[in-house]
């Protein structure tokens, strides 16, 4: 991980990608936690009840708006790769390139353990090896990097299709698509054991799996990589196409086609985000393409970014935004300053603290942005 302090030439970056990434981060580390805290007081109203459900993950089969946040992260990692990998492909020293790739993989994986794997508990019983979005990004990035370094364009399409169909075949042949019977669940329990998220310990020292924890990671790395590769294909459209209007249209067509393919596959393989089913990978990938098409058309083609530029504050320091937002609780600072308002705010005081918590994070990111300090991995 390194900190860079420099001026950023807008022409060297894809503005729509920074803004879309910022939008995703803003939803995760500001809007959703504050909105959910506030809307919970109005859950008896049909509109807010509907919106609250959209900001929660689907229990099993199905797809809600909040289920798109993680796929969009992985997709945007892939979308940036054709731009950054151009110099890698031309380099003669492949060992140096792989050192950079492995370093990024390790840093992302360790940060994932800090965020969600209880690494900072310093208690072996509490540590969870593989349980976070950053680790899914690390896995998808590693596989996508290998594909781009060693495969032709056609080979990348074939390898991505093989990952998708291979995952589909494994889950279809060796299990079913129930929470208890899917093959990805069996692999996670076998390989991660007591270091799997959701494990709890009994007073006698024995441990058990949480029956309510159904996210899978090990085998699902195959479709994590597919999602990143879908982003790579989108990035290539934006990088190689000279006509931005046609690029927008191609992104849109890809999006519609993938959504249709996901729904069609969903007739046999349900759309299940928790196990990253192949149908969900196609469906969410299609939605990512549509969002990318919209932001690319508005920001990069029409140059209508007024009112959206502030999202770069999140998008250009995404790792900092995510890690601080998930690990550091600034509510204690807010409470130290605002405790006198608790009597007046009453039930809404937690909402005020949540708002202040993420506002403090925003100001930290804003200071970094204005100082042109960007943390890169």
> Are the C-beta atoms of 15 and 296 separated by less than 8 Å?
no
Q: With the C-alpha atoms ordered 191, 192, 194, 198, is the resulting torsion angle positive or negative?
A: negative
Report CA dihedral (151, 152, 154, 156) to the nearest 10 degrees. Answer: 30
pTM reported for the whole predicted model? 0.92
Question: What pLDDT shows up at residue 113?
Answer: 95
Question: What pLDDT shows up at residue 90?
Answer: 67
What Cα–Cα distance (Å) separates residue 366 from each residue in 5, 129, 305, 320, 330? Answer: 14, 32, 18, 12, 16
CA distance 58 to 74: 19
Question: Which stretches of the chain drop beneath a pLDDT of 50?
Answer: 6-11
Residue 271: partners with Cβ closer than 8 Å, 6 or more residues away: 61, 62, 63, 262, 263, 277, 279, 280, 283
Question: What pLDDT shows up at residue 117?
Answer: 94
CA distance 151 to 86: 14
30-58 in b/e burial notation, b at 16+ Cβ within 10 A? bebbbbbbbbeeeeeeeebeebbeebeeb
Q: Phi first, then psi: what are they for 324, rounded to 5°?
A: -65, -40
CA distance 256 to 241: 19
CA distance 329 to 351: 14
Question: What pLDDT shows up at residue 4?
Answer: 58
Q: With the C-alpha atoms ordered 297, 301, 307, 312, is the resulting torsion angle positive or negative?
A: positive
CA distance 26 to 32: 8
Question: What pLDDT shows up at residue 85?
Answer: 82
Question: What pLDDT shows up at residue 19?
Answer: 96
Q: Please report the beta strands in the chain, taking only residues with DSSP state E, as ranges in sequence order.
A: 2-5, 200-201, 207-208, 373-376
> Are the C-beta atoms of 288 and 75 separated by less than 8 Å?
yes
Question: What pLDDT shows up at residue 10?
Answer: 41
Question: What pLDDT shows up at residue 11?
Answer: 42
Question: What pLDDT shows up at residue 57?
Answer: 92
Question: What pLDDT shows up at residue 8?
Answer: 43
CA distance 1 to 375: 7
């Amino acid at each position: 991980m390194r900190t860079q302090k420099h001026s950023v030439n807008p022409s060297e970056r894809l503005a729509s990608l920074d803004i879309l990434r910022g939008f995703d981060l803003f939803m995760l580390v500001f809007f959703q936690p504050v909105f959910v805290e506030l809307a919970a007081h109005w859950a008896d109203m049909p509109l807010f009840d509907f919106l609250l459900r959209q900001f929660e993950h689907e229990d099993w089969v199905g797809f809600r708006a909040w289920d798109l946040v993680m796929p969009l992260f992985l997709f945007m990692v892939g979308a940036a790769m054709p731009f950054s990998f151009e110099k890698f492909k031309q380099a003669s020293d492949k060992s140096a390139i792989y050192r950079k790739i492995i370093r990024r993989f390790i840093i992302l994986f360790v940060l994932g353990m800090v965020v969600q794997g209880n690494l900072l508990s310093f208690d072996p019983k509490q540590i969870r090896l593989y349980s976070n979005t950053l680790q899914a990004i690390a896995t998808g990035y590693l596989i996508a990097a290998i594909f781009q370094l060693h495969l032709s364009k056609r080979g990348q399409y074939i390898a991505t299709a093989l990952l998708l169909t291979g995952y589909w075949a494994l889950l279809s042949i060796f299990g079913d698509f129930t929470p208890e019977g899917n093959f990805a669940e069996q692999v996670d329990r076998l390989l991660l054991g007591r270091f799997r998220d959701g494990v709890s310990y009994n007073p006698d020292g024995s441990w058990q799996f949480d029956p309510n924890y159904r996210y899978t990671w090990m085998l699902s790395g195959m479709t994590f990589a597919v999602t990143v590769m879908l982003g790579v294909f989108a990035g290539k459209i934006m990088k190689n196409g000279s006509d931005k209007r046609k690029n927008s249209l191609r992104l849109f067509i890809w999006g519609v086609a993938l959504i249709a393919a996901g729904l069609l596959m969903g007739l046999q393989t349900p759309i299940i985000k928790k196990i990253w089913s192949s149908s969900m990978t196609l469906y969410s990938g299609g939605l990512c393409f549509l969002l990318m098409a919209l932001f690319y058309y508005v920001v990069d083609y029409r140059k209508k970014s007024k009112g959206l530029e502030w999202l770069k504050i999140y998008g250009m320091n995404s790792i900092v935004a995510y890690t601080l937002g998930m690990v550091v609780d600034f509510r204690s600072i807010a409470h130290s300053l605002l405790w006198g308002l608790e009597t007046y705010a009453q039930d809404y005081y937690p909402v005020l603290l949540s708002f202040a918590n993420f506002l403090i994070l925003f100001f930290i990111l804003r200071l970094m942005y204005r100082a042109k300090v960007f943390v890169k991995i």
